[in-house]
Every structure is written in C-alpha cells, then in structure tokens.
C-alpha cells in the first residue's frame, strides 16, 4: 500500500513532477515504449484523482504496452489517488538533410559553433560565455568568443579591451586577440556610452558582419566559436539558426522563477527548431559564507523551479563576489566552478 498523500497539494505536485523527471532522466525504461522520452505537459490533482498528460512522439504499439507503462508510472508516483493518464501524440519537425542545409554558411576557419542563451537578461550569461571559452582554452582548444548582443554588448568590459580592431587588406575585421582568445563584439566598434538605436534589419545586418566579415582564423583556425546571444527569442537567434549549423546550445538561468520561465521559452524555441541543447547551467544558485562555508540559497528555496527544464543540468554555480569584481575590472581568470559544466559537455 502506498504512503499517504501530502495535505499540501502544491508539495505533492512538485513531488510527482520530480519523480517523473527523475525516472525519465535516470533510467531507460521508456525505451521499451517510445523512440524518445515522453514529456510531462500537464499535471493536476482534483477530488482524490491525479491527472497527467504526456506528450509522446509515437503511439503505443499495443494496449498491453500502454498498461505496462501506466503501471510503472503508478508505482513511481506511489500515492493513494486514482491515476488518470492522457496522451498527446506529436511529430517532431523533420531533421534537415545535408543537402537541405546548403543555404547555411560556414565561418571560414571555425570547426564547431556553440550558442549560450538564457531567455532572461541579467542571469550571468555573458560571464558564463567567457568562463566557458577560458575553460575550453585550458583544455587545449583554440577558441573564439563572439558577443552577439547588438543592443547591449558587454565583451569589452568583461575583457578590459577597448581598442578598435584592425582590418586586413581585403577589408575583413581582425578579431581582438587577448589571453589567447579571438574576441569580437560591437562594443569594440561603438563607443560604450552610445546607444544602438537600430531597427531589426540593421541589427541583423550588424550580426552578419560580425559573423562573416571577421577573419576569425587570422591568428589560426578555431576549434570552437562560442556565441554569447542576447536575452529573449528574437531576430538575432533566428538569424543565427538560419545562417549557421549550430553544434549545440547551453542555457543559463538562475533558480528564480522569473528567470526559469524565460529559460523554458528559450528551450522550447531551440527544440522546435531542432537545435541540440546540451543542458543548462544554474547560475547564482547560492552563496557560500566566507566564515563557515555554509551554502545559503539566494532565491528563497526557488531552486525547485528549474525542474521544469527538460534538459540535463550541467552545473550549479554559486554567486562568486570575486568573479563579479573581476568581470567589472576586465580580469580574465578561469574559475574552477565552471569546469564541471565544461567537463560534462566536452
């Protein structure tokens, strides 16, 4: 007989959601029924009944398969409520064949391209992008970092670099080279105190210039180009996806619900467009007391919010005051807390 249900339905919902997420991410039992893991799209509790709706890519091959799947879910949930399960069968967008990708362009001298995205601004995405670039460089790779935020570029401040880039004889921009990284940002071309008041087409034109009119391999071919994308799910992201073959996306969020809501939207965009998401980094997850090493969560135990992200967690990064100071002062030091994510991905 299962254990008694919580009186607090909110906690019960969170418990059920976490159990289902865990069984899909930590076991392979779903492979007996589906080609890809199902997604829990809805959960409700009404009058001693639990209502679940799963999104599945393919229908069950038989009623026996469906019964077996639902019995497994019932055992995992382990509540004395009646369980009612519904299904939404959907088809993923077709994966583009190589010949269909011919409209996409290569960046000369760049082997792999990874996007860092967030949905919400102010979650430490640009700091994370720089840390990932430094970490990959430490692993022996040649790395470039592109700041694709046209309206709020920050790479010059993060790296303490305010010089204007040179150009080659054929008018290509030479990326700034600092600490072994190839760097490019609109902040190298526009004064820091000047607003970029451009409509969408002008911003996209500037992005294309940063992608294809920069001699990224001027100091040698790059193994990896990290692109720090702006907040949101707008024109810049669509232009990057339309123009480039993206090898993977890393999402960044804090545990705060406001940030997670937008991270879920970013996740949805990349999944719908068949861009592989490598996972997410939970940034500013807690602060470590300098006197007793106690971990104090910053967002009032809101770390549970990130369970709605249906992708692997790559690392939980604390708020690091010294890192914030180094970023403000343009000091490019690699912090070991980010190595967990780097080692997981690469």
Residues 36 and 160 in one domain: no
Domain's final residue, options 89, 112, 145: 89
CB atoms within 10 A of CB 196: 15
> Is position 154 within any domain?
yes
Q: Which helix (H) or strand (E) holds 44?
A: strand 39-46
The answer, yes or no, to whether residue 98 has pLDDT greater than 80, is: no
To 5 degrees, how large is the angle CA 257–CA 262–CA 266?
140
CA distance between the termini of the chain: 45
Q: Is residue 246 part of a domain?
A: yes
Residues 293 and 151 both lie in one domain: yes
* Residue 54: per-residue pLDDT: 81
Determine the pLDDT at residue 5: 44
| Same domain flag for 236 and 327 | yes
pLDDT at 200 over 80: no
Which pLDDT belongs to residue 197?
73
What is the distance between the alpha carbons of residues 100 and 41, in angstroms, rounded to a whole number?
31
Rounded distance between C-alpha atoms, residue 151 and residue 266, angstroms:
19
Look up the CATH number of the domain holding residue 81: 3.30.300
Could you tell me if 113 and 236 lie in one domain? Answer: yes
Same domain, 198 and 291: yes
As a whole-number percent, the residues of the chain with pLDDT over 90 amount to 32
> What's the CATH code of the domain at 298?
3.40.50.300
Q: Are residues 293 and 329 in the same domain?
A: yes
Mean per-residue pLDDT for 155-175?
92
Residue 211 lies in a domain: yes
> Does residue 125 share a domain with residue 45?
no
Cα dihedral sign for 162, 168, 173, 179?
negative
Rg (CA), the chain: 23
Q: Does the residue 22 lie in any domain?
A: yes
Same domain, residue pair 64 and 164: no
- What's the domain count of the chain? 2
pLDDT band at residue 300 under the 50/70/90 scheme: low
> What was the pLDDT predicted at 286?
83
**C-beta separation of 224 from 141 below 8 A:** yes
pLDDT at 116 exceeding the cut of 90: yes
- Would you say residue 202 lies in a domain? yes
More confident residue, 267 or 96: 267
Domain end call among 89, 108, 128 = 89
Q: What pLDDT, on the 0 to 100 scale, is given for residue 93? A: 47
pLDDT grade for 90, boundaries at 50, 70 and 90? low
Does 50 map to a domain?
yes
Task: Count the neighbouring beta carbons within 10 Å of the beta carbon of residue 112.
Answer: 17
Is residue 4 one of the residues assigned to a domain? no
Task: Please enumerate in sequence order all residues whose Cβ is within 8 A of that of 329, keeping only pairs 6 or more positions apart, or say none.
Answer: 160
**Domain range enclosing 78:** 9-89
Categorize the per-residue pLDDT at 138 as very low, low, confident or very high, splitting at 50, 70 and 90.
very high
Q: Judge whether 60 and 69 are in contact, CB under 8 Å.
A: yes
pLDDT at 37: 75
pLDDT at 27: 65
The Cα–Cα gap between 203 and 274 comes to 24
CA separation for the pair 305, 81 (Å, rounded): 25
Q: Taking all residues of the chain, what is their mean pLDDT, rounded to a whole number?
A: 83
Whether 94 maps to a domain, the answer reads no
The pLDDT of residue 176:
95
Q: Which of these ranges, 75-79, 177-181, 190-194, has the smallest mean pLDDT?
A: 190-194
Task: Please check whether residues 223 and 297 belong to one and the same domain.
Answer: yes
Strands of 171-329, DSSP E: 176-178, 181-185, 222-228, 248-253, 277-282, 286-288, 295-297, 313-316
How many CB atoms are located within 10 Å of the residue 220 CB? 12
pLDDT of residue 147: 95
Residues 172 and 201 in one domain: yes
Instruction: Please tell me which residue, 27 or 207, carries the higher pLDDT value.
Output: 207
pLDDT bucket at 48, cuts 50 / 70 / 90:
confident
pLDDT higher than threshold 90 for residue 105: no
Is the domain of 226 the same as that of 78? no
- pLDDT: is 38 or 301 the higher one? 38
**Which residues, other chains included, contact 184 with Cβ-Cβ below 8 Å and sequence gap of 6+?**
144, 145, 146, 147, 155, 165, 173, 175, 176, 210, 214, 216
Q: Determine the average pLDDT of the residues in 37-66.
A: 78
Q: Is the entire prediction scored with pTM above 0.95? A: no
Least confident of 3-7, 189-193, 274-278: 3-7
Range picked from 14-23, 32-41, 167-176 for highest mean pLDDT: 167-176
> In terms of domains, do 223 and 285 share one?
yes
What percent of the chain has pLDDT above 70?
88
Domain termination residue (choose one: 57, 89, 121): 89
């Amino acid at each position: 007989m299962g254990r008694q249900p919580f009186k607090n339905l909110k906690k019960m919902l969170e418990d059920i959601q976490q159990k289902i997420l865990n069984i899909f991410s930590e076991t392979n039992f779903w492979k007996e029924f589906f080609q890809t893991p199902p997604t829990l799209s809805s959960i409700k509790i009404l009058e001693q009944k639990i209502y679940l709706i799963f999104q599945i890519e393919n229908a069950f091959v038989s009623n026996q398969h469906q019964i077996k799947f639902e019995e497994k879910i019932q055992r995992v949930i382990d509540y004395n409520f009646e369980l009612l399960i519904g299904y939404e069968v959907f088809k993923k967008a077709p994966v583009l064949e190589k010949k269909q990708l011919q409209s996409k362009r290569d960046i000369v001298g760049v082997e792999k391209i990874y996007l860092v995205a967030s949905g919400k601004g102010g979650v430490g995405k640009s700091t994370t992008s720089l840390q990932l670039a430094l970490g990959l460089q430490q692993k022996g790779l040649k790395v470039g970092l592109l700041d694709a935020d046209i309206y709020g570029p920050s790479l010059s401040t993060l790296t303490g670099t305010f010089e204007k880039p040179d150009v080659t004889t054929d008018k290509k921009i030479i990326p700034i080279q600092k600490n072994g990284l190839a760097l490019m940002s609109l902040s190298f071309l526009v004064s820091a105190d000047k607003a970029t008041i451009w409509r969408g087409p002008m911003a996209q034109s500037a992005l294309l210039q940063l992608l294809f009119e920069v001699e990224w391999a001027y100091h040698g071919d790059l193994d990896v180009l990290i692109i720090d994308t702006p907040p949101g799910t707008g024109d810049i992201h669509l232009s990057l996806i339309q123009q480039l073959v993206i090898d993977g996306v890393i999402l960044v969020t804090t545990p705060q619900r406001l940030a997670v809501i937008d991270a879920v939207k970013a996740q949805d965009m990349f999944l719908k467009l068949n861009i592989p998401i490598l996972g997410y980094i939970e940034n500013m997850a807690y602060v470590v007391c300098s006197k007793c090493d106690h971990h104090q969560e910053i967002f009032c135990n809101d770390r549970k919010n990130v369970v709605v992200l249906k992708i692997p967690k790559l690392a939980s990064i604390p708020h690091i005051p010294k890192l914030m100071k180094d970023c403000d002062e343009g000091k490019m030091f690699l912090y070991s807390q980010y190595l967990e994510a780097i080692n997981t991905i690469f």
